[in-house]
């Protein structure tokens, strides 16, 4: 089953040239990126026993960035030593990502493809990222199953999304889109948000063992993101392929 929602793909494809504009439509992701990267690096370093290995600790490992967008995660992961493949259903999006990587001198491989298509090719990676993607799919369980299949035995899958709570409706939908105007109107559909228990059940049913759940909170005093035990809005789940 193809979990891609064509309307969601078209929505982000129309913004393809703005991914790297830190003050543009994806400004919130630019602000969110450092704390996400810190979490990814810490969990992967422990799991693969790569802590303390310098600037490129993950040399020799492969990584797939599903729903890579313009490459905001793909590029820093490549700098950490991963051999990175980024896929996105929007051809305009991956073209923009590839152009930026070339200008940055980074050897990131980009493809216009879906997780399901790669799973059918029996592709496999040490790390699979699916951050802020599942809430834009038409079939979340099928999407998670495909992503899980793409992780090698002993590999990791990271899934980041937004919890389905009244707090997330107030902050991630109403405030972010209509009051603060951090993201364009219609970016999110609260009905597609997933509670951690729901997401973790999907991951477990796909043959994964949950490693860690991490919440993130925006601090209005420092105007920045921080890790938090609060998973009411933004969170990431890391799981290992048995």
- pLDDT value of position 68: 97
In a domain, 1, yes or no: no
Q: pLDDT, tens digit, for every residue of 16-49?
A: 899 999 999 888 899 999 999 999 999 999 999 9
In a domain, 40, yes or no: yes
DSSP state of 132: S
- pLDDT value of position 1: 55
Question: Which residues, in sequence order, are bridge partners of residue 212?
Answer: 238
In a domain, 223, yes or no: yes
Task: Work out how many domains the chain is built from and give that number.
Answer: 1
- pLDDT value of position 25: 87
On average, the pLDDT of the chain sits at: 94
In a domain, 212, yes or no: yes
Q: pLDDT, tens digit, for every residue of 122-169?
A: 999 999 999 999 999 999 999 999 999 999 999 999 999 999 999 999
In a domain, 192, yes or no: yes
Q: What percent of the chain has pLDDT over 90?
A: 77
Q: What CATH code is carried by the domain that includes residue 149? A: 3.40.50.150
pLDDT over threshold 90, residue 110: yes
Between 66 and 23, residue with greater pLDDT:
66
Question: Which pLDDT band, with edges at 50, 70 and 90, does 222 fall under?
Answer: confident
In a domain, 10, yes or no: yes
In a domain, 45, yes or no: yes
- pLDDT value of position 2: 74
Q: What percent of the chain has pLDDT over 70?
A: 99
Residue 101, both tokens:
């990587």
Q: Give residue 201's domain range.
A: 6-241
Residue 220, both tokens:
């209005």
CA nearest to 68, candidates 135, 17, 132: 132
* Cβ contact 61:85 at 8 Å: no
């Amino acid at each position: 089953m193809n979990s891609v929602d064509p309307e969601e793909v078209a929505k982000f494809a129309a913004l393809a040239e703005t991914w790297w504009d830190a003050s543009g439509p994806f400004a919130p992701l630019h602000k969110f990126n450092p704390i996400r990267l810190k979490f990814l690096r810490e969990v992967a370093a422990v799991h693969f026993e790569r802590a303390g290995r310098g600037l490129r600790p993950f040399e020799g490992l492969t990584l797939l960035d599903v729903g890579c967008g313009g490459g905001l995660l793909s590029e820093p992961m490549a700098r950490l030593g991963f051999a990175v493949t980024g896929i996105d259903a929007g051809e305009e999006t991956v073209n923009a990502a590839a152009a930026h990587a070339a200008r940055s001198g980074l050897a990131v491989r980009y493809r216009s493809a879906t997780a399901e298509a790669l799973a059918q090719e029996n592709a496999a990676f040490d790390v699979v990222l699916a951050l802020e993607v599942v809430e834009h799919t038409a079939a979340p369980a099928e999407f998670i199953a495909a992503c899980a299949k793409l992780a090698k035995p002993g590999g990791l899958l990271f899934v980041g999304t937004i919890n389905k709570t009244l707090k997330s409706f107030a902050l991630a939908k109403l405030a972010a889109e209509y009051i603060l105007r951090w993201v364009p109107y219609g970016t999110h559909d609260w009905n597609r948000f997933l509670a951690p228990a729901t997401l973790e059940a999907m991951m477990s049913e796909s043959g994964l063992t949950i490693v860690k759940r991490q919440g993130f909170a925006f601090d209005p005093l420092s105007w920045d993101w921080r890790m938090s035990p609060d998973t009411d809005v933004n969170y990431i789940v890391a799981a290992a392929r048995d």
